[in-house]
Structure 1
Amino acid sequence: MIGAPLPLTRDIVLIGGGHTHALVLRMWGMSPLAGARLTLIDPSPKATYSGMLPGFVAGHYGRDDLDIDLVRLARFAGARLILGAVDGIDLVAREVHVPGRPPIGFDIASLDIGITSAMPDLPGFAEHGIPAKPLGRFAARWEAFRDEDGPARAVVIGAGVAGAELAMAMAYSLRGRDRNGGVTLLDHDRALAGTGAGARARLLAELSRQGVTLLENAKISLVGAEGVQLADGRTIEADLVTGAAGARPADWLSQSGLDLDHGFVTVDSRLRSSDPEVFAVGDCAHMVRNPRPKAGVYAVRQAPVLLHNLRAAVTGGQMRAYQPQKDYLKLISLGQKSALAERLGLTLAGTWMWRWKDHIDTKFMRRFRELPVMAAPVLPTERTLGMADALGDKPMCGGCGAKVGRATLRGALGPEPAPAREDITPLPGDDAALLTTGGVRQVMTSDHLRTFWGDWAVMTRVAAIHALGDIWAMGATPQVATATLILPRQSNRLQARMLAEIMTTAREVMGQAGAAIVGGHTSLGDELTVGFTLTGICRDRVVTLGGARAGDVVLLTKPIGSGVLMAAEMQGQADGDWIAAALEQMAQPQGAASRILVDHATAMTDVTGFGLAGHLMNICEASGASARLDLDAVPLMEGALDLATAGLRSSLFADNRASLPEMEHTPRADLLFDPQTAGGLLASVPEAEADTLLGALSAAGYPAVRIGVMREGPPRVVLT
């Protein structure tokens, strides 16, 4: 077929979002490789840039200035992003292990997981200290500490260049906020031993000028709640203790089967480990032929070589050797907007060095913030009328944003005919059918989602919870399910890997809900689609759309906004932290909420493709009542209002909005028409029971709120 996507045949898995991998992703997005499926695994949606950390601690940069948004970067590169911390690699099975999800298969893997400055052998540090690396956790802790009230005392363990930079930055920041209770820099040996004589003298003088107390040859016996105890009996009182001493590799590498040097992965000149299909770069790697210190400059310059060699590994091409430079320019922050530069024994310092360092750092970060906008496909010169309008001006959303609109569905399907069978009970407007089999009442439903997120395990989890929503909304207990999958074209090996991840996750989610997967159907297409057909066993009562009464309180168990968030993510305009939080909320099952509400709800539905307003209108129409909605009480996912205010909308928004054209047009009101994927339960309950139910829902972990009240009158939704 002309224009059909080319099949995928090789899996490349990048483990860790370090500087080298970040640059590889950017370059890959500029020139993708046909047939390669690229995956990035990292525990956080953002990677923190180490070069700007001292400037952030000093107050010269904001928290966001440090972050490389891996969600945006992965979308640009066409890579799937798996949010999780790797804890092992199986070189025989060719799998990467992440707790809480199925293994990830690979043909080629690359490690860029950095190092840690945690000190597990130092008593009390794990409980009372915070390592400077990984940087993201430290940056968050420092920000909270810095903004507290009153004098602050800090201790930095490790008087190398990194420790000295941190200590000077802390002293400068706390003094500027009138919180300077003292910053102490400790080292078990000689401070700044790795620097030249000239640079060391300048740095020692600057530490003194900034008011940092330096203790050399200080042996630490314990880190406690009150500070640091030294072996000689002295106690250094501290409100914050951090460690910048040395560099430790990830513990799981010792069980990887790869050759290591003091825990670091040994690599050859082509950046390959002892397993030729596993590469390693950045601080977690040790270059056997050309050992170099742990410095970001090497990680950055490894990126073009790694990109070339990854592509060569899956295309049969020739690999390149990486030749690290013998020395490099060291730019060391001095707390205030001043820096020291050292190279080949020459030392210079001053504000102009800071400006140079700031220029280098901000230029590096702009490479990830100002990603090139790839040109949209050009329409054929000769085409049918209306093609541009049907295509729209933005990508078609996935998830529930890809549904057919409410008005279109009603117009095409028309009035529902009366069932021809006596064992089917008509339920106008409900998504699930009510059946009677052998005296047992069952509900039956079907739902599927077009892919909206690259991690198939997360995608499957959300799709399963989304499909279960119709069962839970009627107060039924899930029974059996069949899976319907469309997989993108790929080799048999890649199909098997994808299917294993999907079905392992599906069985887990359905099993936890009390249902069993008994079969299904799989076919190939242009993109991934995951769907389920489900049955559920009814309890004593079936909750439908048609029982709401005037005076009932309207409750909602989840915030809304997933549609606009995922639409923005597809366009590279969403903050990665917002997306990670939204995925977590979408993956929250509603089974326990259903069990709490089932004996009390007069009407109930799940909020999905038609948006909160559309699904509340369904209750109004089925119940012959109206609803008064408190717009300010409706909970929103983080970032949803920012995106709506900026004018972003899901591709299904316009159809949903047309169903209630009289409602006010504001960004917050527009979110009532935002299509939700795996949304919360929307229930009307007697007013006398509302607070008790909200308490029970909160205790069960649901952010449920009261958002309105049912009224007498013709079916409509009115805002207050």
Structure 2
Amino acid sequence: MHQPPLPLTRDLVLVGGGHTHALVLRKWGMDPLPGARLTLIDPTPVTAYSGMLPGFVAGHYARTELDIDLVRLARFAGARLILGPVTGIDPARRLIEVPGRPPIAYDVCSLDVGITSAIPGLPGFSDHAVPAKPLGPFADRWTGFLEDEGPARVGVIGGGVAGCELAMAMAHALRQRGRSPEITVFDSAQALQGLGARTERGLRGALKRNEVTLREHVVIERVSEAGLHLADGTLSPADFIVGAAGAKPHDWVAAMGLEHEDGFLSVSARLQSSDPAIFAAGDCAHLAHAPRPKAGVFAVRAAPVLFSNLRAALGGGTWRRFEPQGDYLKLISLGRQSALGARFGLFAEGDWVWRWKDRIDRRFMERLSTLPAMTPPPLPRHHAAGLAEARGSKPMCGGCGAKVGRATLARALATLPAPARSDVTALPGDDAALLQMDGVRQVLTTDHLRALTLDPVLMTRIAAHHALGDIHAMGARPQAATLNLTLPRLSDTLSERMLEEIVTAATEVLRGAGAEIVGGHSSIGDELTVGFSLTGLLERAPITLSGAQPGDVLLLTKPIGSGTLLAAEMQGAASGHDVAACWELMCQDQAAAAACLRDARAMTDVTGFGLIGHARNMAEASGCGLVLSLSAIPVMAGARALAEAGHRSTLYPQNREAAPELPETAAHALLFDPQTAGGLLAALPAEAAAETLDALQRAGYPAARIGRVTDRAGSIEVTP
């Protein structure tokens, strides 16, 4: 007897993708708690491992070697990922605020959000300097400066270990480029406080060997294009200024009203705050029972304890105490591939210490990047013929990758009789029907998608934009919609939370497009699916597939590749940056694009059948041929590399049947890639194409001219 999935009854929300939470996600993927829904909230799809930052600055590591891919970790853990900054938490209502979306409810919450920088409050800092964290903006600015050929005067604000490590790393990198750096570290008090005497002497000696100047008890009043203006009235010239001081907790942490120490959330040995439902670890937490300096080693060691205690708070684990060690191993980079190590009064320095640090760092990153393969369960010993082939060798895709194939659908629809009503017109090949009532022309369409993300808000936005594509492709104005849902098995509380998120997101997108939700239907199933039935009003004859003429130019408003990216993401193979960019493109509204394309003779939205499939529909309906220029077709970031690695959507084999004569290259494979919420493909008169393309690009669409219409009826040709 088929056993349905167990219902979800409790919400665990991890706020921040810090080192502790990253390890918790990995452990959760290996041993999830049945009945608990896990959510991760972070502003970025990829976070950086701070321990390797000096090595990256010095040139010992590539930028990507620092990346902890939260998209991949969330998929492995079965967690929904919400990209956005948390701006507040209301413990009384157990709600988390993230701008641009409904509040996120929780039963148990954990914080690992690190710290922020107070330096941008220094006059001129935000215009003429960059903080060392977050890594992304700093890495971009540093890479650009490193590639310059001008003066190499660098000012580092902050004389702690982090600032001195950065200064030595920058000195090494600049010398490797043949530049003569002048690097100064500034501190308003005594630098390198809190270290043992021998460690401090070792670091001061390393700074001298790297020709880094250390200026202590210096007050900086402001920063300008010329450099750092000091309180004594002097100017310290600088071409690149970085802030590595002024670390402070996020303001909203203290605003929760819980016990804290100077804004750092106070936690017990259980890593539990004064609110039993809220936990914290990493730099944002204050260990009230055993205060310690902020150090990554404590964040890493806290992970197993936090994992166990979060499960206990949800009703399914054993409580543990976190007892941080009294001293910890300090490994400090010294610019070149040399490091300093200190613990328990012992001290060592040399190249072998750097190799030791490098092994520790790489081993940590390997734990978070080399995740165990999650293989499907074996088939029963006795099963019906064809079951293995029908199941396939990988998970079924979501979105349009889960649609029925073009040929299969066409054969089934061939049995559908023509409309018997005179006021209903089924347009061959188009996804919407034309209704006529007392001189009013209306189009009707429906779309339903299997979830491609566990975030119901993101999934709803994608599904809504996807459904609106049929309305926009016909030149209609969205009017009304019904919302059709299948919810996974949830407790009544979690069902209410999910429905509220979905309805809010759907209303936002559809009302923004000019439509209103007027009802819908919901049911319970094994997984989330979201669909919409939509009507739109026409002020003129609809734009259909059948109007293209020889000589017309083909424009495409969005790049292709979402099916490949999403298929690879399900297998943990796609970059989090690329997946997040794909999500953003799928949520790009096409209303303004449709307005730019009002002079199109034929138009369709590129979705499940891929660019070739929808192009063939246009060619067949118009009695024309199409020529597509392979090099002109825009492709989503990362999609081509994934296609070259062999990643394909589960719908790809059926889509491939639309043009079996084309070669099997990565570039050609993307032509058959099923798109979700894809762009509009339009045929326009040649004389209008350039102006229309310019208007699309000015409106913010990554549109391109990708081909032309010929008089070779029904043919599809692909040129280099």
- The residue correspondences of 1:20-39 to structure 2 (distance < 5 A) are 20-39=20-39
Contact 1:81–1:454, Cα closer than 8 Å, also in 2: yes
User: Which residue pairs with 1:691 in the alignment?
Assistant: 690
Aligned to 1:244: 244
- Does residue 5 of the first structure (1) align with residue 5 of the second (2)? yes
Equivalence for 2:713: 714
Structure 2 Cα separation of the partners of residues 564 and 115 of structure 1: 36
Alpha-carbon shift at residue 137 of structure 1 (Å): 3.1
How far 1:316 sits from its partner (Å)?
A: 5.5
Distance 1:140 1:37 in 2: 36
How far the C-alpha of 1:131 sits from its partner, in A, is: 1.3
Q: Which moved more, 1:477-486 or 1:315-324?
A: 315-324
What SS does structure 2 have at the residue aligned with 1:324?
A: coil
Aligned-partner SS, 1:254 = helix
**Matched letter for residue 549 of structure 2:** R
Distance 1:666 1:332 in 2: 47
User: How far is the alpha carbon of 1:148 from its aligned partner?
Assistant: 2.7
**Inter-partner Cα distance in structure 1 for 2:46 and 2:523:** 35
1:246 Cα offset (Å): 4.1
> For the residues of structure 2 that align with 1:481 and 1:250, how far apart are their CA atoms?
41
**TM-score, with length taken from structure 2:** 0.99
| 8 Å Cα contact 1:115-1:133 kept in structure 2 | no
Q: Secondary structure at the match of 1:154?
A: strand
The equivalent of 2:574 in structure 1 is 574
Once the 2 structures are TM-superposed, how far is the Cα of residue 541 of structure 1 from its aligned partner? 2.6
Mapped partners of 1:66, 1:117: distance in 2 = 21
- Provide the residue aligned with 1:367 in structure 2: 367
Aligned equivalents of 1:44 and 1:536: distance in 2? 36
Alignment of 1:268-279 (within 5 A): 268-279=268-279
Asked whether the equivalents of residues 612 and 671 of structure 2 are also in contact (C-alpha less than 8 Å), the reply is yes
Equivalent residue number for residue 627 of structure 1: 626
SS at match of 1:546: helix
192-201 or 508-517, which moves further after superposition? 192-201
SS of residue in 2 equivalent to 1:665: coil
Task: Give the Cα–Cα distance (whole angstroms) in 2 for the partners of residues 455 and 225 of structure 1.
Answer: 44
Amino acid across the alignment from 2:679: G
Residue by residue, what CA displacement relative to the aligned partner does 1:43-79 show, whole Å, maximum 9, x if unpaired? 1111100110011111000101111111111111111
List alignment gaps of at least 5 residues for structure 1: none
Matched, 1:589 2:589: yes
User: Which residue is equivalent to 1:343?
Assistant: 343
- Once residues 293 and 136 of structure 1 are traced to their aligned partners in structure 2, the CA distance between those partners, rounded to angstroms, is 25
TM-superposed deviation, 1:455:
1.3
Q: Note the C-alpha offset of 1:456.
A: 1.1
- Name the residue aligned to 1:186: 186
Matched residues in 2 for 1:103 and 1:349: separation? 50
Q: Does 1:676 align with 2:675?
A: yes
- Equivalent AA in structure 1 for residue 198 of structure 2: G
Structure 1 stretch 247-256 or stretch 410-419: which is displaced more? 410-419
- Residue 263 of structure 1: how far off its partner (Å): 0.8
In the aligned structure 1, how far is the partner of 2:124 from the partner of 2:509?
39
Amino acid at match of 2:394: K
Name the counterpart of 1:466: 466
Q: How far off is 1:143 after superposition?
A: 2.2
Question: Which residue number corresponds to residue 71 of structure 1?
Answer: 71
Q: Is the 8 A contact 1:401 1:650 kept in 2?
A: yes
Distance 1:223 1:557 in 2: 43
Alignment correspondent of 1:643: 642
Instruction: Name the CA distance, whole Å, in 1 between partners of 2:660 and 2:375.
Output: 34
SS in 2 for 1:470: helix
Give the TM-score normalised by the residue count of structure 1: 0.99
Structure 1 CA distance for aligned equivalents of residues 503 and 711 of structure 2: 47
Structure 1 position 223, deviation (Å)? 1.0
Aligned match of 1:284: 284
Cα distance in 2 between the residues matched to 1:638 and 1:490:
36
Q: 2:460 touches 2:506 (CA, 8 Å); kept in 1?
A: yes
Give 1:565 deviation, angstroms: 0.2
Deviation at 1:416, TM superposition (A): 4.8
Matched ranges for 1:140-539 at <5 A:
140-315=140-315, 317-414=317-414, 416-539=416-539
The answer as to whether partners of 2:447 and 2:532 remain within 8 angstroms in 1 is: yes
2:473–2:605 CA contact under 8 A, matched in 1: yes
What corresponds to 1:653 in structure 2? 652
Deviation at 1:252, TM superposition (A): 1.6
Tell me what 1:19 maps to: 19
Tell whether the 8 Å contact from 1:157 to 1:244 is kept in structure 2 after alignment: yes
Is 1:703 matched up with 2:702?
A: yes
CA offsets per residue over residues 221-254 of structure 1, 9 Å max, x none? Answer: 1011221111111111112211111421112213
Deviation for aligned residue 1:318: 4.0
Note the alpha carbon deviations across 1:145-199, whole angstroms, 9 max, x for none: 2223333221111111111100000101011112333111001111112211111
Q: What residue identity is the alignment partner of 1:293?
A: P
**Distance between the aligned counterparts of 1:74 and 1:278, measured in 2?**
20
CA shift at 1:139, angstroms?
A: 2.6
Distance 1:145 1:80 in 2: 38
What is the CA distance between 1:415 and its match in structure 2?
5.6
1: distance between equivalents of 2:449 and 2:654? 18
Which consecutive aligned stretches of 4+ in structure 1 deviate over 3 angstroms post-superposition? none
Preserved CA contact (<8 Å) 1:115 1:134: no
Q: 1:373-392 CA deviation, whole Å, 9 max, x = no partner?
A: 12321100000000000001
Aligned length: 719
Report the alpha carbon displacement of residue 320 of structure 1 after superposing the two structures with TM. Answer: 1.1
Match of 2:98 in 1: 98
Q: Give the AA of the match of 1:146.
A: L
Instruction: Give the structure 2 partner of residue 616 of structure 1.
Output: 615
- How many angstroms apart in 2 are the aligned matches of 1:426 and 1:81? 40
Q: Which residue of 2 aligns with 1:559?
A: 559
Which moves more between the two structures, 238-247 or 450-459? 238-247
Q: Distance in 2 between matches of 1:329 and 1:86?
A: 32
Looking at structure 2, the residues matched to 353 and 463 of structure 1 have their Cα atoms a distance apart, in angstroms, of: 53
CA contact (8 A) 2:33 2:316 kept: no
Residue 547 of structure 1 pairs with residue 536 of structure 2: no
Whether the aligned pair in 1 keeps the contact of 2:168 and 2:207 (CA below 8 Å) is yes
For 1:534 and 1:13, locate their aligned partners in 2 and report how far apart those are by CA, in whole Å: 34
1:687 maps to amino acid: A
* Code of the aligned partner of 1:690: A
Q: What is the percentage of aligned positions where both structures have the same residue? A: 61
Instruction: Specify the SS of the correspondent of 1:180.
Output: coil
Partners of 2:610 and 2:39 in 1: CA distance: 32
| CA RMSD after TM alignment | 1.1
SS at match of 2:401: helix
Gaps of at least 5 residues in structure 2 are none
Matched residue type, 1:718: E
**1:480/1:536 contact within 8 Å kept:** yes
Q: Is the 8 A contact 2:119 2:246 kept in 1?
A: no
SS in 2 for 1:510: helix
- Structure 2 distance, partners of 1:106, 1:114, is 20
User: Bigger CA drift: 457-466 or 312-321?
Assistant: 312-321
Does the CA contact (< 8 Å) of 2:15 and 2:42 recur in 1?
yes
Please name the residue that 1:662 is paired with: 661
1:61 aligns with 2:57: no
Deviates more, 1:467-476 or 1:222-231: 222-231
1:601 is aligned to 600
1:83-126 Cα distance to aligned partner (Å, 9 max, x none)? 11111111122111110111111000000000123414422222
CA distance in 2, matches of 1:314, 1:423: 57
Deviations 1:697-720 (A, max 9, x none): 111111111100000022021011
